[in-house]
A and B are shown apart, each in its own frame.
Chain A
Amino acid sequence: MADIAALFNGFAVALTPFNLLLMLIGVSLGVIIGVLPGLGGANGIAILLPLTFTMPPTSAIIMLSCIYWGALFGGAITSILFNIPGEPWSVATTFDGYPMAQHGRAGEALTAAFTSSFVGALVAVIMITFLAPLVARFALQFGPPEFFAVYFLTFCSFVGMGKEPPFKILASMMLGFALAAVGIDTVTGQLRLIFGWHELMRGFDFLIAVIGLFGIGEILLSMEEGLSFSGRAAKINPKVVLETWARLPRYWATSLRSCLIGCWLGITPGGATPASFMSYGVAKRVSKNGARFGTGEIEGVIAPETAAHAAGTSALLPMLSLGIPGSPTAAVLLGGLLIWGLQPGPLLFVEQKDFVWGLIASMYLGNIAGLIIVLTCVPLFAAILRIPFSIIAPIIVVICAIGAYTVHNAMLDIWFMLLFGVAGYVFKKLGYPLAPLVLALVLGDRAEDAFRQSMLMSQGTLSVFYSNWLVGSIMALSVVMLVWPLLGFWRAHERKRAAAAV
């Protein structure tokens, strides 16, 4: 019950006119970012982060998280009207959303998408409200070995649950750790991996990596596809909205299932993109209209959108309560916390009550604001996509360069951004996942510190990682995750052998 009181206190923090204004600005900016190719939640927030340095932290994170909600909403607009997913997690929305728009049911599809996004986010926020304080309270007992075990679990789940080849996931993750190690060692103060190049002393900031990998990389990818926008007209009037709303409760089972899938994949570092695909796949298998999926079935829009938003929102749960982000965007928000001098992790709930509950309250309000904005302003946002790519592309590159420069006021960072852009393009084409790289870059130093402190506790033996039931079970789970792909290999091998025998 104390949490409920804290939540209402949070509403009081969030409901100032200044914060409400920031929410509206944030959501609108977010939708624009979500609509534009090459700008997404993660790098959009990374670019705008320096502008919030002067704000109070609570206002800053309210604006930044609202950008995130906006980006989640925005992805659906381009998917449905233009058949171009503005964000990876809205790819699954194109399957049924675009056919609906082709049949002249764009308004219906958009309303369904926005509403189910809202439902997904709401369920996830409610879950965060009740679960996050519990997780944080539990995590207060954690020492360095437990924290390292949780980091280890996070990274092992990437290997276990990723769709990419396991060794590519591993390579990309280790590259992130290596980049994180560049610069001054936090414990001994020695310079590492700079090879006499003193400008590298600062290390690689993950914001630069995010802007390059996702921003420049994405521009290069969309250039290759030679984008030609041919969109459907978007008309939403209150009548369509109300009619669609009247039909939506019929699909409560799909919604509920998608929420669960989304929340689960959001907390574990699966992220919004696999959640949307999985939810679409399950809905297709379970629904009695399953055979008609892909031709403009409203359930095919509800399922991925609900799951993507639920996952995107619940990715903030481990970020807030453990200091471990569940997605690259959550990682950028975590980077923001560090810059504002807040230490993410379980203590945040004890020491920064106003901040945490203000943020959670703003999740409720921001999503309501988002729903209203997208329902009323769709034609406006769709118009942005009609601006030709040869105007948009250079402007986005300029914005990325500005964003990269402002992180440390360093010219060298702009060059690194370009380098990361090329790397992002090549990695994406070859199926190296980018999320593990970014997360390893963010968590590298903290994971290393936890590891070294644990090793100090145990005088250098690894036994500290199975010294009590808690750390032992987390470690065991991690190892299961790590060898999970091997099991897949083995099963495929067995099946092949069985097939050969027949």
Chain B
Amino acid sequence: MSQQNETGAGGLSTRGAEIVVALVLFAIGALVVFDSHRLGSSWGADGPEAGYFPFYVGLITCISSLVILGQTLARRGARSAVFVEWQALRQVLSVLVPAAVFVLAIQLIGLYVAAALYIAGFMRWLGNYSWLKSVVLGTLVSALAFVTFEVWFQVPLYKGAFNPLSFLGY
């Protein structure tokens, strides 16, 4: 999965996005074909080899993406529609970027602390709530998750590389 954030890369016309997605799909398909070929995609001594089925899956992916690419390029004359407007893109990124930071934070400081910070930060900067309200609600949701999962259902969640909550004994 070498998929990047296509919205930014291919410009903001639908045409650009279509082309980028088709190319990414083609790359994935080619990767599948390549690896299946390595594993053996034909008829072995004891039946079909491991790459037999994925080989054709990859092949069809490549063909479909090429057709989509061709269809997109052929529609040259048509007015290019807007995939996403700048304003809307900023809105989307204002959710996506904090979400990515949140996931990174989980990796480092664990889910509970990251969730509390994330909710509080989101409310403060995107919702313009007061610091007090944001922090209280963030902590509350996080504590609720802790009680539900860790204590009640006994499903341990990720504590992160630095586990700041280790003093709680979980």
Assess whether A397 is interfacial by the CB under 8 Å rule.
yes
In the complex, which residue of chain A has the Cβ closest to the Cβ of B52?
A: A452
Given contacts A51-B155, A388-B127, A429-B17, A398 and B118 within 8 Å (CB-CB) = yes
CA–CA, A460 to B47, complex, Å?
8
Most chain A CB atoms below 10 A, which of B65, B95, B118:
B95
**Residues of chain A within 8 A of B57, CB atoms compared:** 174, 177-178, 181
In the complex, which residue of chain B has the Cβ closest to the Cβ of A452?
A: B48
**Residues of chain B within 8 A of A423, CB atoms compared:** 3
**Residues of chain A within 8 A of B95, CB atoms compared:** 219-220, 223, 393, 397
Given contacts A224-B91, A452-B52, A411 and B106 within 8 Å (CB-CB) = yes
Assess whether B84 is interfacial by the CB under 8 Å rule.
yes
Are A223 and B50 closer than 8 Å at their CB atoms? no
Binding stretch for chain B, among A25-33, A189-197, A295-303: A189-197
Helix, strand, loop or mixed for chain A's interface?
helix
Shortest C-beta distance, A64 to chain B (Å), equals 15
Residues 198-216 of chain A, each 1 if its beta carbon lies under 8 Å from chain B, else 0: 0000000000000000001
Are A190 and B50 closer than 8 Å at their CB atoms? yes
Given contacts A394-B118, A401-B103, A401-B111, A419 and B3 within 8 Å (CB-CB) = yes
In the complex, which residue of chain B has the Cβ closest to the Cβ of A189?
A: B50
Assess whether B5 is interfacial by the CB under 8 Å rule.
yes
Helix, strand, loop or mixed for chain B's interface?
helix
Assess whether A129 is interfacial by the CB under 8 Å rule.
no
In the complex, which residue of chain A has the Cβ closest to the Cβ of B126?
A: A390
Most chain B CB atoms below 10 A, which of A177, A190, A394, A429:
A394
Binding stretch for chain B, among A2-10, A163-171, A230-238, A368-376: A163-171
Residues 411-445 of chain A, each 1 if its beta carbon lies under 8 Å from chain B, else 0: 10011101101110111011010000000000000
Are A188 and B61 closer than 8 Å at their CB atoms? no
Assess whether B151 is interfacial by the CB under 8 Å rule.
no
Shortest C-beta distance, A401 to chain B (Å), equals 7
Contact partner, B88, options A54, A171, A224, Cβ 8 Å: A224
Number of interface residues, chain B, beta carbon within 8 A: 69
Assess whether A472 is interfacial by the CB under 8 Å rule.
no
Q: Tell me the residues in window 147-165 of chain B with beta carbons closer than 8 Å to chain A beta carbons.
A: 149, 153, 155-158
**Residues of chain B within 8 A of A277, CB atoms compared:** none
Given contacts A226-B91, A418-B100, A426-B7, A167 and B71 within 8 Å (CB-CB) = yes
Residues 155-193 of chain A, each 1 if its beta carbon lies under 8 Å from chain B, else 0: 000000000010110110011011001000101101011
Contact partner, B53, options A225, A397, A452, Cβ 8 Å: A452
Contact partner, A192, options B39, B60, B92, B107, Cβ 8 Å: B39
Are B145 and A398 closer than 8 Å at their CB atoms? yes
Given contacts A190-B39, A193-B32, A193-B54, A419 and B1 within 8 Å (CB-CB) = yes
Are A398 and B119 closer than 8 Å at their CB atoms? yes
**Residues of chain B within 8 A of A185, CB atoms compared:** 50
How many interface contacts (CB-CB < 8 Å) are there between A and B?
Answer: 174
**Residues of chain A within 8 A of B64, CB atoms compared:** 167-168, 170-171, 174
Assess whether A406 is interfacial by the CB under 8 Å rule.
yes
Assess whether A402 is interfacial by the CB under 8 Å rule.
yes
In the complex, which residue of chain A has the Cβ closest to the Cβ of B6?
A: A426
Q: Tell me the residues in window 45-67 of chain B with beta carbons closer than 8 Å to chain A beta carbons.
A: 47-54, 57-58, 60-61, 64-65, 67
Assess whether A264 is interfacial by the CB under 8 Å rule.
no
CA–CA, A192 to B48, complex, Å?
14
Q: Tell me the residues in window 449-485 of chain A with beta carbons closer than 8 Å to chain B beta carbons.
A: 451-452, 455-456, 460
Assess whether B143 is interfacial by the CB under 8 Å rule.
no
CA–CA, A383 to B28, complex, Å?
45
**Residues of chain B within 8 A of A402, CB atoms compared:** 111, 145, 149, 157
CA–CA, A501 to B55, complex, Å?
46
Contact partner, A224, options B36, B50, B58, B92, Cβ 8 Å: B92
**Residues of chain B within 8 A of A394, CB atoms compared:** 98, 118-119, 122-123
Residues 92-129 of chain B, each 1 if its beta carbon lies under 8 Å from chain A, else 0: 10111011101100110001000100110011001101
**Residues of chain B within 8 A of A345, CB atoms compared:** none
In the complex, which residue of chain B has the Cβ closest to the Cβ of A399?
A: B145
Shortest C-beta distance, B56 to chain A (Å), equals 9
CA–CA, A426 to B84, complex, Å?
10
CA–CA, A188 to B41, complex, Å?
13
Contact partner, B153, options A51, A165, A219, A448, Cβ 8 Å: A51
Shortest C-beta distance, A396 to chain B (Å), equals 10
**Residues of chain B within 8 A of A226, CB atoms compared:** 88, 91
**Residues of chain A within 8 A of B106, CB atoms compared:** 401, 411, 414
Are B60 and A405 closer than 8 Å at their CB atoms? no
**Residues of chain A within 8 A of B88, CB atoms compared:** 224-226
Are A422 and B141 closer than 8 Å at their CB atoms? no
23 contacts between A and B (CB under 8 A): A50-B155, A168-B68, A171-B65, A178-B58, A187-B50, A188-B49, A192-B35, A192-B51, A193-B31, A193-B32, A193-B35, A220-B96, A224-B89, A224-B92, A393-B95, A398-B102, A398-B141, A409-B158, A422-B7, A425-B92, A430-B83, A452-B48, A452-B53
Q: Closest 8 interchain pairs by CB? A: A390-B127, A394-B122, A171-B64, A174-B61, A181-B54, A224-B88, A190-B50, A177-B57
Given contacts A192-B51, A448-B53, 9 further A-B contacts (CB under 8 A): A167-B67, A170-B60, A177-B57, A185-B50, A223-B91, A223-B94, A226-B88, A390-B126, A394-B118
